[in-house]
Structure 1
Amino acid sequence: LTDSAYVVMCMIIMTRVSLEVFKSIGSGEYVRCIHSVGCPEPVTRTIVSNWLCNPERTMIAHRPAEREIWSYGSGYGGNSLLGKKCFALRIASNIARDEGWLAEHMLVMGQILHLRRHLCGIVSELGCNQGSFLGVTPPGGKEHFIAAAFPSACGKTNLAMLQPTIPGWQVRCVGDDIGWMKFGPDGRLYGLNPEAGFFGVCPGTSTKTNPMAVATFQKNSIFTNVAETANGEYYWEGMECDLKDPKVEMVNWLGEKWKIGDKGEAAHANARFTTPAKQCPIIHPDWESPKGVPIDAIVFGGRRPVGVPLVIESFSWQHGIFVGAGIKSEATAAAEHKGKKVMHDPMAMRPFMG
């Protein structure tokens, strides 16, 4: 329940919305999510850049025992799209504890063969990610599924949509942010993507860094806090190579006239795109499977500019849990802490533990 049209449009993309979903709930349990931007009509306060919010009275309350989320005063995605971090991680991790499964800040991907060797190569090349699922397949080989947990704005979407440069290899995306995992009857760990869309960081995303993401958000997508060119194109830092006219005038994310070379930024450092996952050219055929996909490897990472090896390998699954719990990462624009402070972030879940 929300009073924000922006939240409604984003949630239609990020979640599975239909009458069939409503019917399937029936009289069963569900998590109640109540959101308000905190600006009841008639609006008497000054509205900056058409962005309704009430930062002085912002409050986000999670009530795990009651299965409720209350959010007031904020339009920020993490505080207003309550199906994401608030439910799918904080409340879901509480439900998972009670029911014997896991809700993790992870991507899931599919990949194929020479898993140990090439997994290290992927991590060293991309540096860090928050969490996603993907499948990787070598030429004529068997597909392996990898779950990866990295803090926010550290590259998990780029990893989930990786394009191999080695001929014959294939990577397919299952999810780029949140993974729900449970052991199956065969004793294997399975992971699924509870979301229906991608809520990715814009700055740094381009046809050079993530062509699959760019292909995904060509339609049915929402861009938040980015610049708009005089030609009606979206723009942010990092996509200079994709701009048709580098001298074009723009309106930046603050609503001010701007062009490349001017002071300030075109887009907010945490500007976002919201786009349907089904539009991704490399989305895995089983990305919506209620069973999930079998997890063959887990990667933990973080943004560490100096002082640590690019890649280390744990001695066992048990040791890997220990290593993941000891992760530290540099704060980003998606975190509440500013600057280059390196902080503990166990399993990339520090802001989301329920």
Structure 2
Amino acid sequence: MPKLINEDSYSCKLLNKCKLSVGNIRSYLNLADTQTKNVNISQGNLNLLPPKLKEFLEEKINLCQPQSVHLCDGSEKEAIQLSKLLQNQKTLTPLPKYQNCWLARTNPADVARVESKTFLCSADKKQSIPQPKENVVGKLGNWISPDDMDEAIQQRFPGSMKGRTMYVIPFSMGPVGSPLAKIGIQLTDSPYVVLSMRIMTRMGDTVLQKLLDDSSVEFVRALHSVGTPTNGQHEYQHWPCDPERTIILHRLETHEIVSYGSGYGGNSLLGKKCLALRIGSYIAKTEGWLAEHIKRIDDADLFSQILGITNPEGKKRYIAAAFPSACGKTNLAMMTPTLPGYKVHCVGDDIAWMKFNEKGELRAINPENGFFGVAPGTSNSTNPIAMKTIFKNTIFTNVAMTNDGGVFWEGLEDEISPEIKITDWLQHEWKKGSKTPAAHPNSRFCSPANQCPILDPNWEDPEGVPIDAILFGGRRPIGVPLVYESLSWKHGVYIGASMRSETTAAAEYKGKFLWPGFGENSRVLDWIFQRLDNKENTAEKTAIGYIPTKETFKTDGLTENVDFEMLFAINKEFWKQEVDDITKYLDEQVGSDLPQDIIEEAEALRKRLNE
């Protein structure tokens, strides 16, 4: 069983008025009959599609009333056509400095995920979110009743696609055909979403063929519309949205996703957070596996990356690591090790789907097909691998633009010529030293994973890669060791459930971090290797878990002086307060839903601290 280690650092007829445009999917559809009630498919017609898919399409076409329907094939030709369409609509601006890269600027009111407008729907509220104690405001998710969800849909979606094209996106989260993968069908009126889904998922012909070959294959139903404000006017014509009425809904039992009003990726790319994490977590619970993405004790999210590590002797291990945003998750997944002889390969930087196979091995896949990363802070000094990945076939959103046809964001100040002129994400002239940022703090790059120079050769293994250790991490104050190992599997689950991260100067010591991070984290991975190989005298048992011995944790060659004693100091008074805070939080927020094992682990930790 993998060790658990803590590191700090998504009727059978089309309407007559609905014209079907299908791109290059001619192997499935005969376009000669597009104006008739029956649209041919191969040797038949649209009625030969799986009945569930036909029913889904007809229902949503009736609801949204699009002008046309486009069944996406995922081809290069289709992508070129949609890119030109979006350029003509001024949604995308070409970036001639790079190969097939584009810049999108959103409505300033549509720049991030809207967790406050995101709801889970189930007949039983307990199936969706934990039940907090009476008079306590719950922070671990929002629930909506089935009737209220239906009402919310009826208030927004009737006629929402009038005058627009409905794009039908067949997509797979995970390698097509993998026993760990899940298929979805997303309907959207945003060609920006189509292009982004082509990057972030396996999308198009191969997925549709899977459904055509076997009508019993289930799929997640996903509906998205950018919407139209109640006054009928879009403030920014190039970026239609309805931010005042934005809502993201998930009907758990029937595996349905409904998103309205936002074009931003986190709210509109419904294979990502919506399927891979929210619906995925429910499916995983019912099927007996893990959709790894955790709500931390401080109400933020932990994102899971998978990386392969090879030591100087040529032995390879795979590790899943759950880190909060801004705590180095992508940097870890794309690490350039400073410790000689070590190599890191990236399987994924955001989400992990994990399942024990028949042999008892924990296997994991990255359900995504691309990187949807935060741009600010990414540079050649912090993440050179990411910089080698993102300047080809990429959609940048809300970053600044340079007059030579490139992009800019905070963190690239030392990598750009002083002569270069910069236009910020709001299309205003920007100069270094300005009080406002050039790029939106949540600006993004959306890049294909196969462009990563250290992409693991087994990243698309349908069986997944074998996980040897699971890391939980974040920025923590003095008193929390750089790395420590759980005492047992249950203790490791407690560590994951109680993880939190500091975002203030409390994470610093005398004006700087205790640990340099980035490539130096290879030293942490080296110690993990030693523990996995059961090397003797590599760890000291403490009340909170196993910490490295000074003799086995490699600090030679560090570019910065590190206080080893301070790095692994354990302040029992700090930890007693930590247990009290965690226990109080879980009692208030999870209440009667809290597993007894977690309660017992907290008590056991308190007892060890008092010994």
The alignment's TM-score, normalised by the length of structure 1, stands at 0.83
Q: CA deviation at 1:246?
A: 2.6
Note closer, same or farther for the CA distance 1:303–1:35 as it changes in structure 2 (3 Å cut): farther
- Residue segments in structure 1 that go unaligned for 5+ positions in a row: 107-127, 333-342
Residue 340 of structure 1 is matched in structure 2 by: none
* Contact map agreement 1:130 1:302 (CA 8 A) in 2: no
Q: CA deviation at 1:41?
A: 12
- Name the residue aligned to 1:189: 362
154, 163, 179: which is aligned to 2:327? 154
Amino acid in the other structure paired with 2:228: C
Normalized against structure 2, the TM-score is what? 0.49
CA contact 1:129–1:154 (8 Å) conserved in 2: no
Shift of 1:307: 5.7
The reply on whether 1:3 has 2:180 as its aligned counterpart is no
Matched, 1:200 2:388: no
Q: How does 1:98-117 map to 2 (within 5 A)?
A: 98-105=286-293
1:309 corresponds to: 481
Contact 2:229 2:241 in 1 (8 A): no
Pick from 298, 305, 311: which aligns with 1:138? 311
2:269 corresponds to: 81
Deviation at 1:247, TM superposition (A): 4.2
Partner of 2:351: 178
Does the 8 Å contact 1:136/1:144 carry over to 2?
yes
Of 449, 457, 460, 1:288 maps to 460
Indicate how the Cα distance of structure 1 residues 164 and 273 shifts in structure 2: closer, same or farther if over 3 A, else same: same
Q: 1:311 to 1:232 in 2, by over 3 A?
A: same
Counterparts of 1:327 and 1:40, CA distance in 2: 40
- Unaligned regions of 5+ residues in structure 2, if any? 1-186, 295-300, 505-580, 591-611
**Are the equivalent residues in 2 in contact too, given 1:213–1:280 (CA < 8 A)?**
yes
> Is the radius of gyration larger for structure 1 or structure 2?
2
Q: CA RMSD in A?
A: 2.5
**1:29 corresponds to which residue?**
218
Aligned position for 1:212: 385
Q: Offset at 1:18?
A: 2.4
Q: In the alignment, is the contact (CA less than 8 A) between 1:184 and 1:190 conserved in 2?
A: yes
Does residue 59 of structure 1 match 2:232?
no
Q: Does the 8 Å contact 2:229/2:242 carry over to 1? A: no
Which residue identity does 1:257 align to in structure 2?
E
2:372 match: secondary structure: strand
Structure 2 counterpart of 1:286, which letter? N
The alpha-carbon deviation at position 197 of structure 1 amounts to 0.3
Give the partner amino acid of 2:267: N
Match among 86, 92, 104 for residue 280 of structure 2: 92
Deviation digits for residues 120-164 of structure 1 (CA, Å, limit 9, x no counterpart): xxxxxxxx9732000101112310100000123432111100011
CA contact (8 A) 2:306 2:333 kept: yes
Deviations 1:24-60 (A, max 9, x none): 1232210011111113899623218x43221110111
Given the alignment, which residue of 413, 438, 444 partners 1:266? 438
Aligned pair in 2 of structure 1 residues 146, 84: CA closer, same or farther (>3 Å)? same
Secondary structure (helix, strand or coil) at the match of 1:312 reads: strand
Q: Is the 8 A contact 1:172 1:284 kept in 2?
A: yes
Partner in structure 2 of residue 111 of structure 1: none
Distance 1:322 1:89, change over 3 A: same
Counterpart among 390, 414, 418 of residue 241 in structure 1: 414
Distance 1:157 1:129, change over 3 A: farther
Q: Tell me the SS of whatever aligns to 2:353.
A: strand
Pair 1:35–1:170, CA change in 2 (3 A)? same
1:323-338 equivalences in 2 (<5 Å): 323-330=495-502
Are positions 1:255 and 2:443 aligned together? Answer: no
Alpha-carbon distance, 1:248 to partner = 2.2
In the alignment, structure 1 residue 275 sits paired with structure 2 residue 447: yes
- Closer/same/farther in 2, CA of residues 305 and 35 from structure 1, 3 Å limit: farther
**Contact map agreement 1:14 1:195 (CA 8 A) in 2:** yes
User: Alpha-carbon deviations, 1:262-286, whole Å to 9, x = none?
Assistant: 2200111111100000010000111
1:166 Cα offset (Å): 2.0
Provide, for residues 161-207 of structure 1, a one-character-per-residue CA deviation record: whole Å limited to 9, x for no partner. Answer: 00111222111011111111000122111111111001111011011
Residue 14 (structure 1) aligned to one of 194, 200, 211: 200
Letter in 2 for 1:178: I
Q: Which amino acid aligns with 1:300?
A: F
Aligned counterparts of 2:226 and 2:392: Cα–Cα separation in 1: 27
Q: Deviations over 1:219-265 (max 9, x none)?
A: 0001111000111110000012221x134221111121112122200
What is the letter of the counterpart of residue 370 of structure 2? G
Matching residue's letter, 1:38 = G
Contact 1:248 1:259 in 2 (8 A): no
Question: What residue in structure 1 maps to residue 259 of structure 2?
Answer: 71
The amino acid across from 1:151 in the alignment is: P
Task: Report the counterpart of residue 339 of structure 1 in structure 2.
Answer: none
Q: For the residues of structure 2 that align with 1:44 and 1:97, how far apart are their CA atoms?
A: 43
By how many angstroms is 1:97 displaced?
0.9
